Amino acid sequence: MLAKGRVIAGKYRHRHLIALFDEKTRTTKDRVKEAIFSAVGDYINGKTVLDLFAGTGALGIEAISRGAAHGIFCENDSKTYDVLTGNLQMIEEPYNLYFEDYKSALAKIKPNSVSIVIIDPPYRYDIDEIINNVFKAKILTNSYTLVLETDKEYAGVINNAKIKKYKYGLTHVTIIRGEL
């Protein structure tokens, strides 16, 4: 089922996004989105952001609206991908779009090019495995931020990283800032 979402701040503020409400796609609530981007702050300006499980692209588009210079979006569900491509029509900034599973997309991204990775996978995915694959792909810049949106509190430890955790209802948000 299609519904409307929106960009909440920045250049594309108040622009409408098409959102999906079905068993495969969860839409990030505005208050969670606001909390994520308040925590990431000005670090986003001029950076490349990877929306690894993009869904409708709401988080990656929000990042671009707030100053990210480039977006990379990965989605492998055809119905959701169609909505994502429609939502991306509003942005002027450059972006790359991958219609494939996240591991294949990671292999195609230029090394040392991504400063922020938004990881909001289907809840059945193993978050530790995803994070390990991001590190193995060597796509991160020396100073990086990982944004996790999950259904459980993240219990992992990452060397040389600061981890902040937030909870909004049933949603857990973890911000990991580190140096390689």
CATH number at residue 33: 3.40.50.150
Query: SS3 for 100?
Result: coil
Comparing CA positions, the residue from 79, 133, 84, 135 lying closest to residue 104 is 133
Strands 161-168 and 70-74, sheet pairing: unpaired
Q: What is the pTM of this model?
A: 0.95
The domain in which residue 106 lies consists of 2-179
Number of separate domains in the chain: 1
Query: SS3 for 93?
Result: coil
Lookup: tokens for 130 = 């995803």
Comparing CA positions, the residue from 22, 118, 103 lying closest to residue 62 is 118
Residue 27 is classified by DSSP as P
Lookup: tokens for 34 = 């606001």
Per-residue pLDDT tens, the chain, 180 aa: give them. Answer: 666 789 999 999 999 999 876 656 677 888 999 999 999 988 999 999 999 999 999 999 999 999 999 999 999 999 999 999 999 999 999 999 999 999 999 999 999 999 999 999 998 899 999 999 999 999 999 999 999 999 999 999 899 999 999 999 999 999 999 999
